[in-house]
Amino acid sequence: MKSAKVSPGKKSRRGRKKSESQDESKFLPLPLENKIPVPAGQDEELAPAVADPLQRYLAEISRYPLLSREEEERLTKEYYETRDPRLAYKLVTSNLRLVVKIALDFQKFWMQNFLDLIQEGNIGLMQAVKKFDPYRGVKFSYYASFWIKAYILKFIMDNWRLVKIGTTQAQRKLFYNLKKEKDRLDALGFEPSSKLISQRLKVKEKDVIEMEQRMGAWEVSLDAPVREDSDEKYQDFLPSNDPPVEDQVARDEVGERLRQVLAEFGRGLKDKEKVIFEERLLAEEPLTLQQIGSRFGISRERVRQIEERLLKKLKKFLQERLPDIENYPLALEAS
């Protein structure tokens, strides 16, 4: 049987495929330790995959090697000078495990999906790479930890409640340190009162009380029934900001009466007084003293004097027609 001859500069197709598959294998994910075994007689391609996405993610990031202090310093300086995205990629991937470590400290605040915290921390890590200045003498991982914590904490604050419980930097700081300070006081044998916590954290006591109330109560839908067997909803027990019906009816009646009296007063005016009353005192966009003076060829001071005299006449007229008008400030405001 003749053996196949291969030229020195070429590889056989079989050998080339084998070497290519070996090179490509360097970029494939490492096998998972908890991979589900394939039952006998079943095709491996049809075997169920590992269901836990967190375990898959941790297995993926374990592929990337950690950097030594010298390598980290060299890469950060090169990226700072060149802004090469390949260097940024290496800095990010080598610190993905740092994000997981920091996210574990925040897991007690966010029990829904741990990958949410990791995702936000990764965004903070990328921002740290972008903003880092290697010539300030600070270790990159130490600098990046602040960005990672900031993004994770902001995510938790924005999603802890439907209504945000921390919109300022001081509130975010209080949210993060409140439980830690309570535990510290308990360990020292002190009662963790809101006053003592406010003194130790250097914040207002009312801010501590408000944050405790926000963290201790979950949202309740206003459309939800008060009890399972009840047709009454929570919104039925909310206080109304509208005035009582009796006050509304009384205000409408007095307002209507006031408009009738003002109309009666205006019918008894003539010339300048009528213009000042209708186009200055009652108008939504009143004329100025100068505009009225120019219309009648008189000075602004003369118009002011006429207006002052008119107001005295109006006050006397209202006292005669509506002797109790001062008891209805809402009616006067509405009119």
CA distance 324 to 335: 16
Alpha carbons within 13 angstroms on the beta-carbon side of residue 309 total 10
Q: Report pLDDT digits (tens) over 246-305.
A: 767 777 777 788 888 888 888 888 888 989 988 998 888 898 999 988 988 999 999 999
pLDDT at 143 over 90: yes
Report the amino acid identity of residue 74. R
pLDDT digits (tens, 9 = 90+) for 193-216: 888 888 888 888 888 887 776 665
pTM across the whole model: 0.46
| Cβ–Cβ < 8 Å for 310, 276 | yes
Whole-number average pLDDT of the chain? 77
DSSP codes of every residue in 161-205: SSS-S--SHHHHHHHHHHHHHHHHHHHHT----HHHHHHHHTS-H
Task: Give the number of other CB atoms < 10 A from CB of residue 167.
Answer: 11
148-165 mean pLDDT: 75
Length of the chain: 335
E strand segments, 66-127: none
Q: Is the pLDDT of residue 14 over 50?
A: no
Determine the pLDDT at residue 318.
Answer: 84
